[in-house]
């Protein structure tokens, strides 16, 4: 028996460092998903045509929405995977409890969100460069094409914040599934049921839009950060409380 009692901070730090080394495959999968998103985005997000007299013009629009979308999906599924039994059993190797395990997972997910936010925005830059060199730049509308350092920094911050929210939601969903496998059916049913009700009922649609606009229609970056961080903390806190119902190792 050791006379030195491990502190919560030290155990969490050790677990976090372990996860960074053990789960490098998560970062590789994220990079692969983003590269795939870039390749799909090269085909353009939409096109339009018009004619003036005998001249015909064709307009192709490019967007990094696909890159951001696959990054969000990756963050969600990584969060869910961290709650599975296999990953929980890995934590049991250390002198840990449910709290230290959850805190280490939260720190790891934040790192993933930070890396994902930066790489997603840079993926958009790669897309712009590919289009620029392919077309020669002469046929590109310069408006909103070139980004300033401030716009890049804002893009990093906003993407990371939304990834944090998606990660917290994924972690809560994964925790619920670990408590009861019935949530594998309940959660998708709840999602699609809400979508159907929103399509049929204007009051439900307005209520849903008001919730979405709370974290979407915010012009101040500081207020947006405060809203999302608070919301993500609440969601993650609920997952932490629920996870106390399960043992560290089953």
At 179-216, the pLDDT tens digits run 888 999 999 898 898 888 888 888 888 888 888 888 88
pLDDT digits (tens, 9 = 90+) for 9-56: 888 888 888 888 888 888 888 888 898 888 888 776 666 666 666 666
The pTM (predicted TM-score) of the whole model is 0.85
Q: What is the dihedral of CA 155, 228, 111, 78, to 10 degrees?
A: -100
Is the CA virtual torsion 93, 99, 101, 107 positive or negative? Answer: negative
What ranges do the domains of the chain cover?
8-179+218-243
Integer Cα distance of 175 and 79 in angstroms: 10
Residues in the chain: 250
How much is the pLDDT for 54? Answer: 67
Packed helices 65-82 and 98-135: angle between N→C axes, nearest 10 degrees: 160
Between 61 and 180, the higher pLDDT residue: 180
| Residue 234, both tokens | 């609440």
How much is the pLDDT for 141? Answer: 60
Indicate if the pLDDT at residue 139 is higher than 70.
no
pLDDT bucket at 58, cuts 50 / 70 / 90: low
Proportion of the chain above pLDDT 90, given as a percent? 27
Host H or E run for residue 126: helix 98-135
């Amino acid at each position: 028996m050791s006379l030195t009692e491990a502190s919560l901070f030290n155990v969490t730090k050790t677990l976090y460092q372990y996860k960074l080394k053990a789960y490098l495959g998560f970062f590789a999968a994220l990079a692969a998903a983003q590269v795939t998103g870039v390749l799909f985005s090269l085909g353009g997000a939409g096109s339009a045509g018009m004619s003036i007299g005998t001249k015909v013009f064709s307009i192709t629009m490019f967007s990094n929405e696909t890159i951001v979308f696959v990054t969000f999906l990756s963050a969600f599924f990584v969060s869910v995977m961290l709650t599975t039994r296999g990953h929980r059993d890995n934590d049991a190797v250390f002198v840990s409890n449910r709290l230290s395990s959850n805190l280490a997972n939260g720190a790891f997910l934040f790192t993933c969100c930070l890396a994902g936010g930066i790489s997603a925005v840079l993926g958009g830059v790669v897309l712009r460069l590919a289009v620029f060199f392919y077309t020669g730049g002469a046929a590109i509308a310069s408006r909103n094409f070139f980004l300033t350092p401030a716009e890049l920094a804002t893009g990093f911050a906003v993407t990371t914040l939304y990834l944090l929210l998606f990660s917290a939601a994924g972690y809560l969903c994964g925790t619920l599934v670990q408590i009861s496998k019935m949530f594998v059916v309940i959660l998708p049913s709840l999602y699609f049921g809400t979508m159907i009700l929103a399509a049929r009922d204007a009051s439900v649609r307005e209520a849903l839009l008001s919730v979405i606009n709370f974290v979407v229609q915010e012009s101040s970056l500081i207020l947006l950060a405060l809203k999302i961080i608070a919301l993500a903390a609440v969601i993650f806190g609920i997952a932490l409380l629920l996870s106390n119902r399960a043992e560290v190792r089953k």
